[in-house]
Amino acid sequence: MSSSTDRRNVAVGPRNGGAAVKGVIQKVHSPNQSLNDPSEEDVQAFLIDKDQLHTFDDLTKVNPVTPTTVLKCLQARYSLKVFYTHAGCTLVALNPFQPIPDLYSVDVMREYHCASQPQEFKPHIFIVAEEAYRNVQGQLEPVNQSLVVSGESGAGKTWTSRCLMKYYATVAASSSANRSQDTVERIEKRVLDSNPLMEAFGNACTLRNNNSSRFGKYIQLQLDRGQLLVGASVQTYLLEKTRVACQPANERNFHIFYQMMKGATDEQRKDWKMPHNQCFLWLPNCEKQIEEDSFHETVEAMVHLGINPESQRQIFRILAGILHLGNVSFCSSTNEAQPCDLVEHSEDFLRRAGELLGVPAEELHRCLRVRTLKAGKQNVLKPCSQAECGVRRDCMAKLIYGQLFEWLVTFINSCICADQSKWCNFIGVLDVYGFECFQINNLEQLCINYVNEKLQQHFVAHYLRAQQEEYVLEGLEWSFVKYQDNQSCLDLLEGSPISVFSLLNEESRLNRASDSKALKGRLEKELGGNGNICWDKFSKVPHFTVTHYAGKVSYQLEGMVEKNKDPVPPELIGLLQKSDNLLLHEIFSDKESEIPNNKGLSKVTVVSKFKNSLENLMKLLLTTAPHYTRCIKPNSDCRPLTFKNKEVISQLEACGIVETIHISAAGFPIRIPLKSFLQRYELIGKYSASGRLDVDSDADGTNILQQEVEKLLKVVLQHNVSCDERRSLVHCGRTKVFLTQPMLDLLEDHRKKILSRCAFTIQCCWLRYQRRRHLARRQSATLIQAAVRSWLVRKQIQRWNGAATVIQNSWKKWRALLKSLAEAELDDARDLVEEDTPALNPVVRERGSVQLSSFQEPVPVRGWPMGLALASAPSITVSLTATGFQKMISVMTSLNLPSRRGEYKVATNQYKQGLASIRAQPRGSVKLHYQRSPLLYADMQPDLKSDVTGFNEILLEKTL
């Protein structure tokens, strides 16, 4: 089973029901055909083709259905290492007794989980798990699911339950998107780690099974509305505490003791006072090696569940104390008035047990040898006999181990159980002890087989009987299939007013020593007329034999009453309450109220408590949708791939597999109320391809609802289907619609197609709306952007205009200032008369005119702002004025005058060169004023050695 093509069937038939829907519906069985008694010729004709027997992955396809044909099909498949086969509503699982690689890998789990039709794959336990997972939020109202795993001891129930839990922990957490991955891993890891821890403390190696469950458990896997695993809870039933102090021949104690012996370190052994060569009476067959002896795995599970190292140390010290207590033995005292003495070497074990359990060795010694009796208001101490001392020792060991197991279950639930507000549905996995029949059977086997009788009755009542009765009430043409009803056996065990349990409880409540022969006499007297109980008159051992659904089992009466009483001496509880071991003190601190009420509590027997807890379990199962898995043990020797016909066929007949196949092949496993059917599938009529069909799902009245259902069925079955073929697929009853699995798949396929079309239409409308909305938003955004840009441009232009205005005003003011300065510097001819020259304006004198003196070195002459005077002698003054910017630049650039006394550099503060007008006054008056300066055409760089020509010569001829 390495690929999907290997798991996928080539020709897919129906899981349930008698037809297959693949385009054209074909009928496989008619209801009456499968119910007729087949002839020997039909059986031989079916078995003659041996090469095709392994192809029947669903036994409802077998025709004829007999124990022989079913057995041969299972044997053929088992020889090819195919271990799962559908049998109608039940999955048959054959134990291979060896590891099968890749059969339960994570990839296989996800492949079954992601498949649209898991039924198209080969039968597997994961198909049952996936059906339950999908049915939680399935076709109709969410319903809690239960997976009932049953079978004999060693058939593989514990392994199957472990695979189911691993499957849900994988697929129910893999799609988590809302929670952190650490949270998901923590939840699924803790749920999975609860298994090895509980198996270590509750499972043991027996003659039939190396990992036999010695307690029952119902695990609720809690799912939220998104079908994600958010937690789990564990309920346990009847731990076999007697195994701690009494192990049947060739069997072992609980796994945890052997794990400690084989996996502990030297430091731990020193702490537990368990040297390597130490032997314990309560650890038989210690040399046997099995896979479950993994101490490291148990410790790792404790760590993941949150048990701190100190609590782990206290747990292992308690277990070691129990083992040391088992090596304490007593011998009779020579004086009957004195308590019993300890045998040789027992004192050391007693001291170690007291130290490990945290109680004084002297008080422990006294409590085991002396009991306290109440005589009125006084307490009387009475020495115990040798047998009573052994019973009190065993009682103490069983009490401690039982309470420790309950504490572990409570702690596990506190770690993995989610708050009620976080989950809404659950999937329950029921794993109980299998049917047992040993050479010596006592109260434990009676209770275990009683559980299996109740589960078998649940299957009979829920499927074999209830379905057939419902077919008749709903008006279906049905011929009853005979089946084995175990109700008479249950009446024998638990019936009212007289039953085995009632007589056993009555004997246990009597304040006297039990007498097995007297109990046998009462059973014969009261229940002698019941056909399910008998006695071997030639046997000297008191016993009774019960005919169970799986066979006859003989139970010994010796010690059964004492086990049912399960007495707990109050002085032992008082001693354990004083323990220095904090965990042991915590466990027994709540038992304080039980001491004074011991007389009343003795009326609550083991059978009464177990029966009440089992009734609560059955009530819980009735509120869920069950899924059955029948585990079959191919051989009693646990040899790999060995198939023994007699053993297998006895199990098939006991659990009613053949009858189940008959009813599944001819019946209708799916039943839906009319109104619910219309509410779910009315859209098929509204959106059918042949035209709209109005279906009123709110109609009242049975006849009207039936008519509406018929309309829908005509739309779905629009092909050429005969009446017989239609009856084999679907039947409309008085209050319900009865469907086969192929018909349900066809309806769901139509519904999915219509929902897909509607979803596509909704998506198109939504995308169109989104596109239009996007376009409108884009247009609006463009308009807003344009408005903002225009506003920004206007604001910028306004700033530019303001700045230009400021510049223009400043420039106009500057021009006016320059003009006024130029006009102030210009004068008339009469102003040149020296004696008549008026005083210059101080501002003009300061800024425009500079008097030059005679200097030996060339000096720069600067005029501010535009005036400039040049002279070759102090008596000569040259003034420069300007009326135009260009004139000033031209004159200042071209003026580079040579002199006999040196050269003068002309520069201004505002410009590097240029002037507008020149006024010079040698002996005579020379005045130059022009509008267009001729200096534009002057020599810009005249040679200093050459003769002065041009305008400079004209200007300065008299000066030079």
What residue type is assigned to position 490 of the chain? L
What's the angle, vertex CA 440, arms to CA 435 and CA 445, rounded to 5? 35
The percent of the chain in helix, strand and coil, each rounded to the nearest 5, is: 50, 15, 35
User: Is there a contact between 321 and 356 (Cβ–Cβ < 8 Å)?
Assistant: yes
**How buried is 29 (Cβ within 10 angstroms: 0-12 exposed, 13-18 middle, 19+ buried)?**
buried
Q: Which of 206, 212, 486, 508 is catalytic?
A: 212
Helix (H) or strand (E) holding 163: helix 157-174
The answer to whether 880 and 821 are in contact (CB under 8 A) is no
Instruction: Check: CB of residue 194 under 8 Å from CB of residue 141.
Output: no
Tell me which of 34, 69, 144, 158 is the catalytic residue: 158
Place of tokens 């004025």: 881
Active-site residue among 213, 253, 505, 508? 213
| Catalytic residue (choose from 66, 85, 146, 153) | 153
Q: How far apart are CA 41 and CA 33, in angstroms?
A: 15
Going by their DSSP bridges, the two strands 378-383 and 425-431 should be labelled as unpaired
Neighbours of 427 (CB within 10 A): 28
Half-sphere exposure of 206 (CA within 13 A, CB side): 24
Burial class (CB in 10 A: 0-12, 13-18, 19+), 143: middle
**What are the distances in angstroms from CA 783 to CA 734, 771, 776, 786, 792?**
68, 18, 11, 5, 14
What are phi and psi for residue 646, nearest 5 degrees?
-65, -40
What is the distance between the alpha carbons of residues 897 and 772, in angstroms, rounded to a whole number? 84
Alpha carbon separation from 287 to 38, 257, 265, 385 (Å, rounded): 53, 13, 18, 34
What residues pair up with 342 in beta bridges, in sequence order?
A: 330
Q: Report the Cα 190 to chain-centroid distance in Å.
A: 11
Measured between alpha carbons, how far is 158 from 483 in angstroms, rounded to an integer? 28
- C-alpha–C-alpha distance, residues 255 and 291, integer Å: 10
Estimate to the nearest angstrom the gap between the alpha carbon of 252 and the chain centroid. Answer: 37
Tokens encoding 806: 């400021």
* CA of residue 888 relative to chain centroid, distance: 96
Using the 8-state DSSP alphabet, how is residue 438 labeled? -
Catalytic hit among 68, 85, 90, 209: 209
Distances (CA, A) of 869 to 819, 849, 872: 19, 6, 10
Q: Which residues pair with 736 in a beta bridge?
A: 673
Set 199, 240, 292, 436: catalytic member: 436
**Helix intervals (H) in 327-478:** 346-357, 361-369, 386-416, 443-459, 466-473
Identify the bridge partners of residue 554 per DSSP, sorted by sequence position.
Answer: 545
Of the candidates 154, 202, 667, 733, the residue annotated as catalytic is: 154
Q: Which two tokens stand for residue 81?
A: 């290492």
Whole-angstrom Cα distance, residue 281 to residue 270?
A: 20
Which of 670, 742, 711, 661 shows the shortest CA–CA distance to 470?
670
DSSP string, 832-875: G-TTTPPPPPHHHHHHH-------SS--EEEESSS-----SSTT
571 is known as an active-site residue: no
Q: Which of 428, 434, 733, 914 is catalytic?
A: 434
Compute CA 247 distance to the chain's CA centroid, rounded to the nearest angstrom: 40
> Which CA distances in Å does 580 have to 358, 569, 727?
4, 20, 73
Respond yes or no: is residue 902 known to be catalytic.
Answer: no
Cα–Cα distances in angstroms (integers) from residue 390 to residues 283, 337, 393, 558, 611, in the given order: 17, 18, 5, 17, 29
Q: Is 453 annotated in the active site?
A: no
Catalytic annotation on 154? yes
Asked if residue 286 lies in contact with residue 261, where contact means CB atoms within 8 angstroms, the answer is: yes
If you write DSSP's letter for every residue of 744-760 in order, what string do you get? HHHHHHHHHHHHHHHHH
Whether 158 is a known active-site residue: answer yes
- In whole angstroms, give the CA distance from residue 626 to residue 206: 29
In the residue annotation, 153 being an active-site residue is answered as: yes
Active-site residue list: 153-154, 158, 209, 212-213, 434, 436
